[in-house]
Amino acid sequence: MQTLKLRRAMMFMPGNNPAMLQNAGIYGADSVIFDLEDAVSIHEKDSARQLVLQALTHFTYSCEIAIRINHIQTPYGFRDLETVLPGKPDLIRLPKAESAEEIQTVAEVIARIERECGFPDGTIKMGAAIETAKGLRQAYAIASASPRMEFLAIGGEDFIADLKTTRSKDGRELFVARSQLVLAAREAGIQAIDTVFADANDDETFLNEVRFIKQLGFDGKSVINPRQVRQVQEVFAPTEKEISHARRVLAAYQDALDRKSGVIALDGKMIDTPIVTRAERVLAYAAAVRN
């Protein structure tokens, strides 16, 4: 059975907050993203990256730890990499990605520092956020630019600003971008992560959005409030009914194979390869959640 890396809820934490860095693992997020970009003012960039390095060096976390660096075209991006990579984060998240070359440049820096620090090659993975129309047009090239790439994310607020429109309650202005991003991620064989939902007090709209992006094919969502973590995970978790049905599908499939029958049916309905694939994914997801 295939194994899955869960990234249902990827929670941002500001890299300049020592208390939050220390307690990052207590909220149950699948991944925590220490943010050196938007959450940190230009006057605190140096101290934030040092705080993040100290957290990586001295604390042990039960979840994946990612670092959102500043873009490498800013004065801060390469300094972020040089400082935090020796702390051996699980993943580097590049914001505002617009080309495969950017991914390859970051991957080369990671590879060099892995060698210098004695880490096994490929230890530190990558993800990238698409936040502009230009980036979306290059989404597949970005997604497939390096074997280190694990996911594409969409940065909704910046993308909407680039479109020169405003955020609606139902997020209709992001429909095309979300769909294209999922397609690019799937073509490249990596995960797709949705944008943050900023209003932590609007649970109804938030949950509707999570259900919608799950239906679109996303693997998870970026969050900014610890309360949103469990909500996202509950939406993405397979139900007992789905798990039971998946087991019956695979049992019927195996029975047909044992009988060398070309016809596979369950409850009077034909079972074909896509249905078997979905059943396998449901059970793999359920196993990953239990672990």
pLDDT at 2 over 90: no
Same domain assignment for residues 23 and 158: yes
Same domain assignment for residues 222 and 245: no
**pLDDT of the residue at 281:** 83
- The 10 Å Cβ neighbour count of residue 16 is 22
Same domain assignment for residues 163 and 248: no
Same domain assignment for residues 259 and 207: no
**pLDDT of the residue at 245:** 83
- Indicate the pLDDT class of residue 291, thresholds 50, 70 and 90: low
Same domain assignment for residues 229 and 246: no
Mean pLDDT of the chain: 93
When divided into structural domains, the chain yields a total of 2
Same domain assignment for residues 261 and 132: no
Q: Tell me: the pLDDT tens digits for 232-273?
A: 999 998 888 888 888 888 888 787 777 777 677 777 778 888
In this structure, are residues 37 and 95 in contact, taking their beta carbons and an 8 Å threshold? yes
Q: Is residue 3 part of a domain?
A: no
Between 111 and 247, name the one with better pLDDT. 111
* Percent residues over pLDDT 90 in the chain: 77
Q: What is the DSSP code (8-state) at residue 100? A: H
Q: Tell me: the pLDDT tens digits for 133-142?
A: 999 999 999 9
Same domain assignment for residues 141 and 255: no
- The 10 Å Cβ neighbour count of residue 80 is 24
Q: Which of the residue ranges 156-165, 184-193, 220-229, 270-279 would you say has the lowest mean pLDDT?
A: 270-279
**pLDDT of the residue at 3:** 58
Same domain assignment for residues 264 and 154: no
**pLDDT of the residue at 54:** 97
Same domain assignment for residues 99 and 185: yes
List C-alpha distances in Å: 19 to 25, 37, 227.
12, 18, 18
CA atoms within 13 A on the CB side of 226: 9
Q: Is residue 214 part of a domain?
A: yes
Q: Is residue 107 part of a domain?
A: yes
Domain range for 112 is: 9-236
- The residues with which 207 forms a beta bridge, in sequence order, are none
Q: What is the DSSP code (8-state) at residue 152? A: E
List C-alpha distances in Å: 84 to 16, 49, 52.
13, 7, 7
**pLDDT of the residue at 10:** 98
Same domain assignment for residues 207 and 273: no
State the Cα–Cα distance between residues 137 and 131, nearest whole angstrom.
11
* Percent residues over pLDDT 70 in the chain: 98
Entry field: residues in the chain? 291
